[in-house]
Structure 1
Amino acid sequence: MAASLLLGRQGILFGLKLSNINKSLWAAQSLQEHARHFLQSSRIFGVTPVKVEMPALSPTMEEGNIVKWLKKEGEEVTAGDALCEIETDKAVVTMESNDDGILAKILIEEGSRNVRLGTLIAVMVEEGQDWKQVEIPSPDAVITPSAAPSETVVPPAFPSPPKTVTSGPLRLSPAARHILDTHGIDPKLATPTGPRGLITKEDALNLMKMSPEAKKMPILTAPPVPSPAQRPAAVPPPPSSRPNIPPLSIPGKPGAPGTFTELPASNVRRVIAQRLTQSKTTIPHAYASVDCNMAAVMALRKDLAKENVKVSVNDFIIKAAAVTLKELPEVNVNWSGDGPLALDSIHISIAVATDKGLITPIIRDAAIKGVQEISANAKALAQKARDGKLLPEEYQGGSFSISNLGMFGISGFSAVINPPQACILAVGTSREELRLCEDNQTLRTQQLMTVTLSSDGRLVDDELASRFLDRFRDNLEEPQRMALA
């Protein structure tokens, strides 16, 4: 009987312990579920969004314009997807995403201009998160005088009045000397405030106000200028009354005579202005010109046209310049802050005029390409430049530039060097001229074209520029010397 009671009591105790263990396990499971629920909810309310900032899409870019958003809010984005189109200082470039997620909020709308680098333009969230409840990061607070915390304002200490110079010769400005001599006031009474004890015009006027002798004498002042209404009608207004700056015209109304209209400058125009100013103020330009006989090139173009191969004169010029750079590698250099840099590759930049300004796409490795391939590349790049679709690698890194205005009837001109390049070749139109033959007795009509080389005097001296032009003329006048295939 006692044994059975003992066993029953132990069973009850064991059951109570088992119940406590179950309760502990249930509490642990409940705690895990609460923690899981908290973590899931923190993804919504405590999520840190992925920032999308204005990137630097070209080496000289400082700000850009948002042309068009290619993704909408709430749309899934994969790394490498196109987010938006940005107008840089060179062209319109497509910005790609670096992360996977969902585009949660667009902060800079389409058409926004002059967006600085690093500006937050959008935010993204990770997949599975509620993009509608994303937390928008606030920009860094800038303390302004109205928003600054109230502090005890300490009035600035006013400087003590300068001491009167008692020793040494007096130093007076011409205006102060004239005022004091005119009114017969002793200059020793003046308190100099100018540098190194100089008595200024203001010091002389202050002394006149305090001196009793000066109060008795009238202060010489300029006679008042009569207003236009007080002037006689017969006397025309003096030329000085004309304003130096014409008035601004009123938007939406036809411009009145003598007014001007403000035109917004695009990023491309601003960068062109900066680089032209940099080039003309920091690069010592030297110029040399030569006439090239284009008879052989013209005849070769006709022969190629019979075989349905259409190439332009500019394609031969690009090829001749590239071959000449290969023959004279000392011209194929750039200038850096530390000095000249010899280039291993020959990339020819060609100037293309667009509605937004001049841009120079690049024919890469032009020395080893045929004229037909150069022609195809030039046409494709020129069209992309006019459409604003050039990629950064298609207009960065050139070693030599060519600007051709011959199609506009320009006989000859001098071009501005495109830094950090050392040279640019300006090409004019071809013309027919009578020239003496080698026998100096007979005249013959020649098809001549003037080219002008602008060179950086720090890198290409006059002798080297002359040798380059001489070799370039030989290659162009004898195109069979170049590998044209």
Structure 2
Amino acid sequence: MLFADDILLVDKTKEGVEGKLEVWRSTLESKGFRLSRSKTEYMECNFSSNRPSKGIVTLGDRVINKSTRFRYLGSIVQSDGEIDGDVISRIQVGWLKWRNASGLLCDRKVPLKLKGKFYKMVVKPAMLYGAECWPLKEKHNTKLCVAEMRMLRWMSGFTLRDRIRNEHIREKVGVAPVEDKIRESRLRWFGQIKRRPSDDPVRKVEVLDLTYVKKGRGRPKKTCYLAKIITPEGSKDVRVGQPIAITVEDLDEIKDISAETLNGFKVKEEKPVQYVEPKEQELNSHRTNISRFSPSAKLLIAEHGIDVSSLKASGPRGTLLKGDVLALIKGRGGSQQISQSSDKKTSTSVHSFKQTAASSSSSETLSRITAAYEDLQNSQIRKVIAKRLLESKQNTPHFYLSSDVILDPLLAFRTELREQHNVKVSVNDIVIKAVALALRNVPEANAYWSDEKGEATILRSIDISIAVATEKGLMTPIIRNADEKTLSAISSEVKELAERARNGKLKPEQFQGGTFSISNLGMFPVDHFCAIINPPQACILAVGRGNKVVEPVKGSDGIEKPGVVTKMSLKLSADHRVIDAEIGGKFLGSLSSNFSDLRRLLL
């Protein structure tokens, strides 16, 4: 029974509820109060549709109104045991809190992390009040997640059209998913129930004077004694869930701990740490200026048994290099310093190498070692390129789309320009123009990803980066506003930029920036390949060579007949954070249309 003052009477039978209700009525009337029959309601909990109703509840000679849900202490209790009404009610309360604080949460001047902390302190507790006792279903989780993501997107200034994943928004704001918070609250609630004694539920009320009582902070502490250490300190390879120790609540229980209690886990005995006298060779290594060894230097020292004290390090920060060891071996005649320890067996490959080295002269060994490889000194440009491409491959979610286009109209168009108009353009020039016009039709592909903002930005200008191989490394000169330039202008600019790139005379503004990259290997016997995205751009197009294939070709009479056509492979590498497969497919479709109808390139 639920009264107007949130007083709840519970009983297993209808008669029991009516008896308790009569006691309350008579008690209140004896004190001059009156029980409101219009505000008093009853609810029958029926969790099975096949179970018949037990009848109506009366108060005196009047029938009490029946309800299917009660609002009790901020929660909604339903007669069928479901929580749909409670979940919807808590979502509405959360929205009310959010709207009251929207002036702060929607202020772009406030950092996102600060907004997230305010949200976790004010809005989320109101929305998840009592959630630790909810019998949640998937539909309830979905409703809560949808409501929370709408709040977080408004806080961050993003909409669904921005195509930003929920995980990125949560990471920026610093808010964990709803299901994780509910699981944490439920485990904390279970822990409190587990720690409480069995007779702890309130059965009587005592008035205590707490004026001089010091209140403790945190959860109540329990005293225990360490009975057995299963995994000693410093142990390695400890599995998750493996016992590390056994505790008891009473000292007398320690003697009852046996090996059977360990559930099959072996107790690791703590071995005393023994001090080992260092060898003279190790002491000598510490007296030298050597602070570290390169791997090749270690191998040569072990093979030839060289005394470390006779070596001098020439590498940075006292690093002993391979050249330092080779210089000592060459100066002493090589074989004179070979130790007896080289005959010991280590591994199959090293042992066979030592046998070969022992059976030949030191000069042959050194020539064999130096001829095995050659160190290539990377230029600063190559180091930067390697670092950026490695970061791109590791951090950028690549996905690939491929398409084949027919080159015959392009080749005929190129021949016509050369013979009739004396305009010489390459296939690469036409590809640049076709890509630029396709980007104009599909501007979503002309974008880049900002790590600082955590969002994608669509660019208005179409600047095509072209991969050019040079002696110093791969350079990407840029054709600015390629969609607005003619084929002849693009051709002359490409030749000029490629020449400047090979001579190392490119200006920073000529290779820094760009919105889309093209890598063309059509001049090599490469049919198709995948290129790595040039960050922060979102796309790069890999162009292969043209190959003649036989396929059905429509004649002038409309009948398909076998014919030879030249096809070229195009493979698009795209950043899935910026565009999806649909946008990539639209871009390749627009690009294929430009190749099939080359009149578009003249517009």
For residues 437-452 of structure 1, the aligned pairs below 5 Å read 437=553, 441-452=560-571
CA 199–237 in structure 1, closer or farther in 2 if over 3 Å, else same: closer
Paired residue for 2:602?
Answer: 483
The answer on 1:345 being equivalent to 2:464 is: no
The structural deviation recorded for 1:413 is 0.4
Q: Which runs of 5+ in 2 are unaligned?
A: 1-224, 236-266, 276-337, 358-362
CA contact (8 A) 1:414 1:452 kept: yes
Matching residue within 410, 413, 424 for 1:297: 410
Matched, 1:320 2:441: no
User: 1:393 maps to what in 2?
Assistant: 509
Please tell me whether residue 360 in structure 1 is matched to residue 476 in structure 2: yes
Q: Quote how far apart the aligned CAs of 1:392 are.
A: 0.4
Corresponding position: 1:376 with 2:489: no
CA distance in 2, matches of 1:456, 1:437: 36
Q: Counterpart amino acid of 2:431?
A: I
Which letter does structure 2 place at the counterpart of 1:442? K
Deviation of residue 243 (structure 1)?
7.9
- The verdict on how the C-alpha distance between 1:315 and 1:200 changes in structure 2, with shifts beyond 3 A counting, is farther
State the TM-score, normalizing by the size of structure 1: 0.51
Q: 1:267 to 1:255 in 2, by over 3 A?
A: farther
**Alignment CA distance shift 1:440-1:268 (3 Å):** farther
Q: Report the alpha carbon displacement of residue 255 of structure 1 after superposing the two structures with TM.
A: 6.6
TM-score, scaled to structure 2: 0.41
Alignment of 1:14-29 (within 5 A): none
Provide the aligned C-alpha RMSD in A. 3.5
Structure 1 portions without partners, runs of 5+: 1-165, 177-196, 207-226
Match for 1:470 among 583, 589, 603?
Answer: 589
Change (3 A) 1:199 1:416: same
- Structure 1 residues 229 and 379: alpha-carbon distance in aligned structure 2, compared to 1, 3 A threshold: same
Match of 1:336 among 438, 446, 450: 450
Taking structure 1 as reference, are residues 243 and 400 closer, same or farther at Cα in structure 2, changes over 3 Å only?
A: farther
Deviation at 1:429, TM superposition (A): 0.4
Q: Could you tell me whether the CA contact under 8 Å between 1:175 and 1:200 is conserved in 2?
A: no
Higher relative contact order (CA 8 A, sep 6+): 1
Aligned letter for 1:394?
Q
Q: Given the alignment of the two structures, is residue 239 of structure 1 paired with residue 349 of structure 2, yes or no? A: yes
Q: 1:408 to 1:168 in 2, by over 3 A?
A: same
The alignment partner of 1:168 has SS state of: strand
- The correspondence of residues 172-211 of structure 1 with structure 2, limited to 5 A, is 172=231, 200-201=270-271, 203=272
Residue 270 to residue 440, structure 1, CA distance change in 2 (3 Å)? farther
Whole-angstrom distance in 2 between the partners of 1:174 and 1:406:
62
Measured against aligned partners, the alpha-carbon deviations of 1:64-95 in whole angstroms (never above 9, x if no partner) come to xxxxxxxxxxxxxxxxxxxxxxxxxxxxxxxx
Deviations 1:293-343 (A, max 9, x none): 111110111111113211000000000000000111111111002210110
- Whole-Å separation in 2 of the counterparts to 1:445 and 1:454: 29
Equivalent position amino acid for 1:266 in 2: S
Question: Do the aligned partners of 1:428 and 1:451 also contact (CA within 8 Å) in 2?
Answer: yes
Higher relative helix content: 2
Identity rate of aligned residues, in percent?
Answer: 39
Aligned position for 1:267: 380
Q: Structure 1 384/200 Cα, relative in aligned 2: closer, same or farther at 3 Å?
A: farther
Structure 1 residue 463 displacement after superposition = 1.2
Which amino acid is 2:441 matched to?
E
For residues 188-221 of structure 1, the C-alpha deviation after alignment (integer angstroms, 9 at most, x for no partner) is xxxxxxxxx98644x2658xxxxxxxxxxxxxxx
* C-alpha distance 324-297 of structure 1, shift in aligned 2 (>3 A): same
Deviation at 1:259, TM superposition (A): 3.8
Identify if the C-alpha distance between structure 1 residues 243 and 456 changes in structure 2 by more than 3 Å, giving closer, same or farther: farther
Residues of 2 paired with 1:313 and 1:432: CA distance? 16
SS, match of residue 546 in structure 2? strand
Evaluate the alpha carbon distance shift between residue 323 and residue 258 of structure 1 in structure 2; reply closer, same or farther with a 3 A threshold: same
2:592 counterpart letter in structure 1: R
Shift of 1:238: 3.1
Relative to its length, the structure with more strand (as a share) is 1
Q: 1:265 to 1:236 in 2, by over 3 A?
A: closer
Measured at CA, do residues 388 and 204 of structure 1 come closer, stay the same or move farther in structure 2, by a change above 3 Å? Answer: closer
Whole-angstrom CA distance in 2 between matches of 1:464 and 1:243 = 57
For residues 15-52 of structure 1, the C-alpha deviation after alignment (integer angstroms, 9 at most, x for no partner) is xxxxxxxxxxxxxxxxxxxxxxxxxxxxxxxxxxxxxx
Does residue 309 in structure 1 map to residue 423 in structure 2? yes
Amino acid at match of 1:239: S
Q: Which residue in the other structure is 1:5 paired with?
A: none
Query: Partners in 2 of 1:458 and 1:242 — Cα distance?
Result: 51
**Are the equivalent residues in 2 in contact too, given 1:430–1:447 (CA < 8 A)?**
yes
TM-superposed CA distance for 1:462, in Å, is 0.8
Q: 1:308 to 1:239 in 2, by over 3 A?
A: same
Over 3 Å counting, the alpha-carbon distance change for 1:262 and 1:174 in structure 2 is: same
1:238 alignment partner AA: T
Per-residue deviation, 1:254: 6.5
